[in-house]
């Protein structure tokens, strides 16, 4: 299978660009070995290189768009779609997360929606001091953990108290929110004696997973407004209430990989 590193921008009701999926389908029919794409560009190196031995120049000439692919995404899409093929399963799933704070699972062959989870109301651009994403929801690419069979991500959500950043864990099976999640980032850091302003902080970098801990990086919005800092915050998958944080200088950013 090959996944493109291109970013797709779509609106509700507009079909998801399916060129990369058609290629995946063609390779499946050719007997290609199944594998999952669990993180941005497929691995921690972020190289974006996917080697498919059965894909020759001759076979590549037959790659084409599949007009029957039915996937429609709910909102603007900045995060890279991920691909999950569970052990022993005959079907694969495409996961997308949008700026409407929606996470959707599609059958990777037909595009049929398997489930959809809305995690909150996205933040209107008028509530932020600057920025170029409106509304602001899920921007950084999520990460999938095979051991918990869950997808983890940060979402900007509008609550009664104003904009918040919350880190979620959803079951890949049915989008159930996992016990202990979501984690409100500002509240978690306040317990550590740190101040985090959700209005001036933006989460653009891909979420990373290492040794049972997910790491979420924050910088500022487009326009570099307000007293934002660079943050890297870690949460244990098995004890999400236990957090650790590192903050860089005022006006800095922490990007494992900048995506927008």
Q: What is the pLDDT of residues 11-50, one digit of tens each?
A: 445 456 444 434 444 444 333 335 899 999 988 888 887 7
Q: What is d(CA 222, CA 226) in angstroms, rounded to the nearest whole number?
A: 11
Q: What is d(CA 15, CA 153) in angstroms, rounded to the nearest whole number?
A: 23
What is the pTM for the complete model shown? 0.84
Phi-psi region of 215 (alpha: psi -120 to 50; beta: other; left: phi over 0): beta
Give the dihedral sign, CA 138/199/127/221.
negative
215-258 residue pLDDT tens: 999 999 999 999 899 999 999 998 988 777 676 656 555 544 33
Backbone torsions φ then ψ of 24, nearest 5 degrees: -60, -40
Q: What is d(CA 204, CA 142) in angstroms, rounded to the nearest whole number?
A: 11
Coil/strand/helix, residue 105: strand
């Amino acid at each position: 299978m090959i996944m493109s590193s291109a970013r797709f921008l779509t609106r509700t009701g507009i079909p998801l660009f399916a060129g990369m999926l058609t290629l995946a389908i063609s390779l499946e029919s050719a007997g290609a070995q199944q594998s999952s794409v669990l993180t941005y560009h497929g691995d921690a190196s972020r190289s974006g290189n996917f080697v498919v031995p059965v894909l020759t120049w001759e076979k590549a000439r037959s790659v084409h768009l599949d007009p029957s692919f039915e996937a429609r995404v709910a909102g603007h899409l900045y995060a890279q779609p991920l691909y999950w093929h569970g052990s022993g399963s005959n079907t694969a799933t495409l996961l997308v997360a949008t700026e409407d704070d929606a996470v959707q699972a599609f059958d990777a062959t037909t595009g049929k929606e398997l489930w959809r989870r809305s995690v909150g109301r996205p933040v209107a651009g008028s509530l932020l001091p600057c920025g170029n994403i409106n509304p602001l929801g899920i921007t950084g690419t999520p990460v999938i953990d095979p051991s918990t069979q869950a997808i983890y991500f940060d979402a900007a959500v509008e609550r009664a108290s104003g904009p918040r950043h919350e880190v979620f864990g959803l079951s890949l099976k049915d989008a159930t929110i996992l016990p202990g999640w979501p984690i409100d980032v500002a509240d978690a850091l306040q317990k550590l004696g740190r101040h985090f302003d959700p209005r001036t902080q933006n989460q653009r970098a891909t979420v990373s997973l290492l040794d049972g801990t997910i790491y979420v990086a924050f910088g500022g919005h487009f326009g570099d407004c307000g007293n934002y800092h660079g943050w890297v915050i870690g949460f244990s998958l098995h004890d999400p209430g236990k957090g650790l944080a590192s903050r860089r200088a005022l006006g800095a950013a922490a990007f494992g990989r900048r995506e927008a």
